Amino acid sequence: MAALWRSVPAVCAASVAYRKLPCRTESEKQEHRPRFTCFGEAMLRYVPDPRGGEESPFAARWLRSLGGAELNITVALSRLGWGGRTRWVSVVPQGVLGDDFMNVLGQAYPDGGKENLQLVRREEGDVGIYHVWPAEHKIWFQRHRSVFGLMDPRWFSASFWKEVLRDGAPAGPQVLHLTGITPLITVNTRAAWDHALRAARELKEEDSGNLVVTMDLNHRPALGSWKELWNMAEPHLGTLDVLVFSIGDVIQVGEIFGEDFAADFKALKRGRAGAESLDALVRKCIAKLQLYLGNRTNIAVTCKARDVSDGLPQQLRWSVVCLKAGTVLSSYAARVPQEVREEIGGGDSWLSGLIDGLVGYSTAAAAAPEWSEEMWLQAMKRGDMLAALKQQVLGDFSNVERSALETALAKHSNPSLES
């Protein structure tokens, strides 16, 4: 383990080409232009300022940021060079608070977000907020009057989604991304979410190679039961090209088919010492799930093995994918050691890196959705590294640029490049 451990390379401006996925040429930048569209809510997040600084016993400092699981990916991809080709579909309040929300959000995008935010509706209502107490591992949501939750689902009908997903760059595939958060917010958001998936299925039947659909199940217990979410998502598995599970999802799906995966995971060694065993168990479990679920989509799981001490948590990060055909791939051999400064946004950044690897380069995009095993592995490694780099920064959003990601990947694959 001592020989393996190296901290994630610091984000820097210098660019070193990654040997497996070289930086795009100018001609490719001009010719290959995929587009990413997602649908979901964004909220204001409040977390105690880790720097402290209370000025009186009656006032505390809190850091305010904003983000959302789907929105975070548009920001991450735009920072990787996708620019205005990442679009967020949502509803944001009118008025002063909504204006401030949109202004702050626009600053997250390299070009101000005009194109990224063009599909956001502005309506009367409130924005959802949540508070996080990291030291106590507590989180509290306030979203009952969220304008997103109170939407009219007819705003986002099947015809709306078909028009949005047909509009785009003929020189690159469209990517539609959804999560399991949205359908549990309200019956209205569920209807709009369902419209998107039904429209995607019909479009894929017309042209299976031009639309890639991804979903992070991302169950939030505060919104509803896991079984309720699964009953909503399961009928759409055949529409998806990537379905991201947590370890908890793997256990829950296993229970449906009579598997006691929970006991197997409980028996593992904790921390980094049990990382190899965790990798082997995840591989075994998702291979079984793929068969149980009828080989309808590619299943991905992000893995972390963490040691907790008095300082920042130290962990290993890697990912495992079971392809529709049943082949299981793991990036464990290239696992990334990291210090975790921010718990939020790692999973969204992993998926951003994966999507960039699968459709952000012309060769891989041309193969979609029948990517080769090597394409999958390189995309998984991009996701692992982007997640590790993002978790060095406070807040939901990744500010990692392509040059920094390429540099970190190159140094990780070839330690001699470390300065």
Give the model confidence (pLDDT) of 98-112 as tens digits.
999 999 999 999 999
Q: Which residue has the higher pLDDT, 365 or 53?
A: 365
Per DSSP, what are the bridge partners of residue 67? 43
Contact 300, 242 (CB under 8 A): yes
Task: Tell me if 219 sits within 8 A of 249, measured CB to CB.
Answer: yes
Give the per-residue pLDDT at 171. Answer: 63
pLDDT at 168 (0 to 100) = 59
**Residue 13, Cβ density class (10 Å: 0-12 exposed, 13-18 middle, ≥19 buried):** exposed
In angstroms, rounded to a whole number, what is the distance separating the alpha carbons of residues 149 and 258?
Answer: 35
Which residues are CB-neighbours of 63 under 8 A, at least 6 positions away?
Answer: 46, 47, 48, 49, 394, 395
Query: What would the two tokens of residue 70 be?
Result: 């789907």
pLDDT of residue 49: 85
Residue among 115, 122, 216 nearest 167 (CA): 115
pLDDT tens per residue across span 306-363: 887 777 888 999 999 999 999 999 999 999 999 888 888 889 999 999 999 999 998 9
The H-or-E segment that residue 183 falls in is helix 182-185
pLDDT exceeds cutoff 60 at 28: no
- Through-space distance between the first and last CA atoms of the chain, rounded to whole angstroms: 22
Mean pLDDT of 120-141: 90
CA distance linking residue 406 with residue 384, whole number of Å: 12
Query: Does residue 14 carry a pLDDT above 60?
Result: no
180-215 confidence digits (pLDDT tens) = 999 999 999 999 999 999 999 999 998 756 899 999
Confidence of residue 23 (pLDDT cuts 50, 70, 90): very low
Instruction: Please state which of the ranges 5-9, 46-50, 229-233 shows the lowest mean pLDDT.
Output: 5-9
Q: Which residue's structure tokens are 């999958």?
A: 376
Please confirm whether the linkage preceding 369 is cis (ω < 30° from 0): yes
Indicate if the pLDDT at residue 232 is higher than 80. yes
The model's pLDDT over 374-394, given as tens digits with 9 standing for 90+, comes to 999 999 999 999 999 999 888
The predicted pLDDT at position 143 comes to 87
Give the start-to-end residue ranges of the domains of the chain: 1-21+242-414
Minimal CA–CA distance to 246: which of 267, 274, 272, 218? 218
| Nearest one of 241, 178, 237, 179 to 210, comparing CA atoms | 241
List C-alpha distances in Å: 164 to 85, 109, 149, 183.
12, 21, 21, 20
Indicate whether this model's pTM tops 0.85.
yes
Residues 248-279 pLDDT 10s = 999 999 999 999 999 999 999 999 999 999 99
Q: How confident is the model at residue 22 (pLDDT cuts 50, 70, 90)?
A: very low
At 418 the pLDDT is 59
> Dmax of the chain from CA atoms?
63
Look over the chain and give the mean of its residue pLDDT values, rounded to a whole number.
Answer: 88
Identify which of 129, 145, 147 has the alpha carbon closest to the alpha carbon of residue 62: 129
Q: How confident is the model at residue 169 (pLDDT cuts 50, 70, 90)?
A: low
Can you give the three-state secondary structure of 95-160, one letter per residue?
A: HHHHHHHHHHHHCCCCCCCCCCCCCEEEECCECCEEEEEHHHCEEEEECCCECCCCCCHHHHCHHH
Task: Look at residue 417 in the predicted model and tell me its pLDDT.
Answer: 61
Residue 93 clears pLDDT 70, i.e. is over it: yes
Question: What's the mean pLDDT in 49-67?
Answer: 80
Q: Residue 17 above 70 pLDDT?
A: no
Instruction: Give 383's contacts (C-beta < 8 A, 6+ positions apart).
Output: 302, 319, 349, 350, 351, 352, 353, 354, 357
pLDDT at 88 (0 to 100): 97
